[in-house]
Structure 1
């Protein structure tokens, strides 16, 4: 983007007016392939998006819109052109007030901002800080837009106390920034707070929810989102093969194209869409489908947890484990053992992370998203125990404690230690049972789930023999 000073006035306007099909900009994105690809957006798409977004956000000449996004991120387009079209001002924050440590509240007050858009991960932290200090928002702020990642229900509850409208947006670089908008009602329903919809489409985005055969799914059914209409970009610069794979023929309109989003959605009875997950990045642990956002939401309900991220760590081969990263609330300390027990009451056993890593802050990219590459791998330190381990009291307990310790790769297992709180899971349970059976101890995997301590497991084995 060229910001050099240019002569002002009609006499200095460009002589050549771009055609609607001319390229307006190119934004590079890596996506799931990891290889940069330049999405080409044409003037017709940009003009339609700017006009419709200005109308949807009710932007006017009195608005002051914060420029927050990185210049290499397509949200920059949403921060510039709609507000310019409406006659408002774009506010570029001074260098001293940018970066990860930016004080958003001070910036809003100083620059009299009326509208701003923040990535969800950054917004989560800001809302937590606001709730912690109980400070009101500056009076100039009339609207906040949030997007990029799933929004935590707990933060929505905190935000509703502040009285400023919130809009949730969803969009893809290849289809001109944002395609759907959802305005959270002042008194939002439990359903909206639990799973914030992505809303309804702009007129330039023709949305289709299709099954694997490219047939429309019934209302309420889950399908992949395809985006058509004026918002669809030209394709990937210099990559015709990749363009053909993602920009596919419109099954309902010969000669037209739709963009295959790779996102699973469903349409509610009120017409709003709900984002569910990615088609190609659904996490599966031992054949079970896992939604990290569901686990993160449960973790954030713990009174000591301020922020949480869940990811998969592969230790060796196909040994994939869920790892939970947590940031403690101010002036508190998280007990991992207590957190495990809390999650055990909130979630099925297979959704409880095998390991937890406590961080001072969740690392973010320059665009404000969670930087998964900078999340440290879990260490080999022994798991935290709620109490000192009690030694086994019988030869059978000693034998079982030794087996469990070997499988979990810990030095000591007490008779009252919970197998799952020490990092065990269903696959490791099978290994424990297999070794026990080799040693002549009659057990089944179900026994370990129903009797997760050495003491209880020994009792179950004794009853069987």
Structure 2
């Protein structure tokens, strides 16, 4: 209907907001000048004020500039989670470059591929971390290099190799590709600044706030953990390497540092909330979840464990500056948790296969437009053209095709249904695996659920995997029988496997390939 079309294309996408044309560097320097004596970064016993941190960043940046780093150039960062990591990333940006996080624990072949595509001017590392790097790259060892001879004063655009502009890359994040080769997503300063200033406008971090950096820097959630606190005068607490996988350690670091703001991938939030000591985390005010579908039971458990904590469900692809929609969990979210409404200067469209908007309540593919769209994939013009398409609703602009299936809810929020690739044909019927997962989560005592298709050449069958809530016994056969009373026969899992925990990747996301055979 015409009225509904206007609503889904215009009314629910009225997100215009004036954002100053600044870079991450400008925002950070402004804060250093305002609160030089406030604590900026904490890592174990190491504490740096804004002034001290700023001096370290600028000195290293001047070294990098002398080595040819400036706007449009890239620098690899292969450093374990530490103060050096944070200083290194900020210094790359201060010099005008974009940073490329590199995980040296990954196979050598993958590291070589990432560096080959990114073609960085050099790689920041340490004498320990550089072991996993190919010998062909120029490496600056942060634990060895002496930058004391460089000035720690603010750097002007005149000093840089070029003027730093909003369209210049802030970072290149490599994500897994369907071809098996990682894709380097190039995100600009303008895109990530919009994302961070929206976050500050929406959630109002204050100088008394403490943000935990625990996400691996190869995962884009780390971007807001790294930059949001230091753009507003708050404190950044850096978790130990590997600490993001240890609930007991996380409780200790949260309690010991008075952390107020933290992010969890839903899989890890389920593990974290099973830790009884989480009730000690009374300083926590905001918990953000993204990267996977957030179950209502896990969100509810977090809200029940820490009085007053607010749980926020965020959604977004790396190709659109981390997050593009948001929703605060409420008591009304009992069956599922919506992914919410679009952030500033961002449009979200639910379209059919012919790029036409679908009615409210009908499932379609999510397309994203606006200032947060990435420039594209580094060195992959073909892939960029395939995923970033012309916007049929806006002259000269682009949309990113997410591959996610969603629907509009009547109140103007989006509900996540599943991946386009997780929609399968089974015995001639179209089956949405995410729909089966949602039903499994409604079974009493189930904390997490995953559904996959097993078998092949006509003999495919659905397998469910569930993780019970702490202290609850769940029988797989009983779950199958219960689901048979809720879903059509062709959608009922042939078997439900009960696991102690779901396998996760290094980023804390569900690792479907590691699920055991039934």
| TM exceeding 0.5 | yes
Question: Is the 8 Å Cα contact of residues 347 and 370 (structure 2) preserved in structure 1?
Answer: yes
Q: Distance between the aligned counterparts of 1:295 and 1:222, measured in 2?
A: 15
The answer for the alignment partner of 1:171 in structure 2 is 316
The answer for the alignment partner of 1:56 in structure 2 is 202
Superposed displacement of residue 273, structure 1: 1.4
Q: Distance between the aligned counterparts of 1:11 and 1:160, measured in 2?
A: 43
- From 78, 83, 87, the counterpart of 2:233: 87
The answer for the alignment partner of 1:71 in structure 2 is 217
Question: Is the 8 Å Cα contact of residues 248 and 257 (structure 1) preserved in structure 2?
Answer: yes
The answer for the alignment partner of 2:285 in structure 1 is 142
Superposed displacement of residue 108, structure 1: 1.7
The verdict on how the C-alpha distance between 1:350 and 1:104 changes in structure 2, with shifts beyond 3 A counting, is farther
The answer for the alignment partner of 2:253 in structure 1 is 107
How does 1:178-257 map onto structure 2 within 5 Å? 178-185=323-330, 188-189=331-332, 192-257=333-398
TM-score computed with the length of structure 2 as normaliser: 0.66
The answer for the alignment partner of 2:417 in structure 1 is 276
| 3-state secondary structure, aligned to 1:136 | helix
- 1:312 paired with 2:457, answer no
- 1:152 paired with 2:258, answer no
Q: Please give the per-residue CA displacement for 1:384-438, whole angstroms capped at 9, x wherever unaligned.
A: xxxxxxxxxxxxxxxxxxxxxxxxxxxxxxxxxxxxxxxxxxxxxxxxxxxxxxx
- 1:372 paired with 2:518, answer no
- 1:285 paired with 2:426, answer yes
The verdict on how the C-alpha distance between 1:328 and 1:181 changes in structure 2, with shifts beyond 3 A counting, is closer
Q: Distance between the aligned counterparts of 1:309 and 1:153, measured in 2?
A: 15
Larger deviation: 164-173 or 55-64? Answer: 55-64
Superposed displacement of residue 34, structure 1: 2.7
- From 3, 15, 18, the counterpart of 2:164: 18
Question: Is the 8 Å Cα contact of residues 153 and 297 (structure 1) preserved in structure 2?
Answer: no
The verdict on how the C-alpha distance between 1:341 and 1:56 changes in structure 2, with shifts beyond 3 A counting, is same
The verdict on how the C-alpha distance between 1:100 and 1:159 changes in structure 2, with shifts beyond 3 A counting, is closer
The verdict on how the C-alpha distance between 1:225 and 1:299 changes in structure 2, with shifts beyond 3 A counting, is closer
Matched length? 370
The verdict on how the C-alpha distance between 1:289 and 1:129 changes in structure 2, with shifts beyond 3 A counting, is farther
Larger deviation: 35-44 or 202-211? Answer: 202-211
Please identify the structure whose Cα radius of gyration is greater: 1
The verdict on how the C-alpha distance between 1:265 and 1:356 changes in structure 2, with shifts beyond 3 A counting, is closer
| Structure 1: stretches of 5+ with no match in the other structure | 379-465
The structure whose RCO (Cα within 8 Å, separation 6+) is larger is 2
Q: Distance between the aligned counterparts of 2:153 and 2:230, measured in 1?
A: 17
Q: Please give the per-residue CA displacement for 1:12-51, whole angstroms capped at 9, x wherever unaligned.
A: 5672241111111101112433321111011111221111
The verdict on how the C-alpha distance between 1:27 and 1:332 changes in structure 2, with shifts beyond 3 A counting, is same
The verdict on how the C-alpha distance between 1:305 and 1:81 changes in structure 2, with shifts beyond 3 A counting, is same
Question: Is the 8 Å Cα contact of residues 244 and 250 (structure 2) preserved in structure 1?
Answer: no
Q: Distance between the aligned counterparts of 1:96 and 1:276, measured in 2?
A: 31
Question: Is the 8 Å Cα contact of residues 247 and 260 (structure 1) preserved in structure 2?
Answer: yes
Q: Distance between the aligned counterparts of 2:355 and 2:448, measured in 1?
A: 38
Larger deviation: 85-94 or 112-121? Answer: 85-94
Question: Is the 8 Å Cα contact of residues 266 and 292 (structure 2) preserved in structure 1?
Answer: yes
Question: Is the 8 Å Cα contact of residues 125 and 307 (structure 1) preserved in structure 2?
Answer: no
| 3-state secondary structure, aligned to 2:214 | coil
- 1:360 paired with 2:506, answer no
| 3-state secondary structure, aligned to 2:218 | coil
| 3-state secondary structure, aligned to 2:273 | helix
Superposed displacement of residue 10, structure 1: 2.9
Q: Distance between the aligned counterparts of 1:89 and 1:373, measured in 2?
A: 38
The answer for the alignment partner of 1:341 in structure 2 is 481
Question: Is the 8 Å Cα contact of residues 423 and 433 (structure 2) preserved in structure 1?
Answer: no
How does 1:393-408 map onto structure 2 within 5 Å? none
Superposed displacement of residue 174, structure 1: 0.7
Superposed displacement of residue 81, structure 1: 1.8
- From 438, 461, 465, the counterpart of 1:325: 465
How does 1:254-273 map onto structure 2 within 5 Å? 254-273=395-414
Question: Is the 8 Å Cα contact of residues 51 and 85 (structure 1) preserved in structure 2?
Answer: no
| Structure 2: stretches of 5+ with no match in the other structure | 1-76, 78-84, 89-141
| 3-state secondary structure, aligned to 2:334 | helix
Alpha-carbon RMSD: 2.5
The verdict on how the C-alpha distance between 1:288 and 1:221 changes in structure 2, with shifts beyond 3 A counting, is same
Superposed displacement of residue 350, structure 1: 2.5
The answer for the alignment partner of 2:180 in structure 1 is 34
Q: Distance between the aligned counterparts of 2:190 and 2:302, measured in 1?
A: 36
TM-score computed with the length of structure 1 as normaliser: 0.73
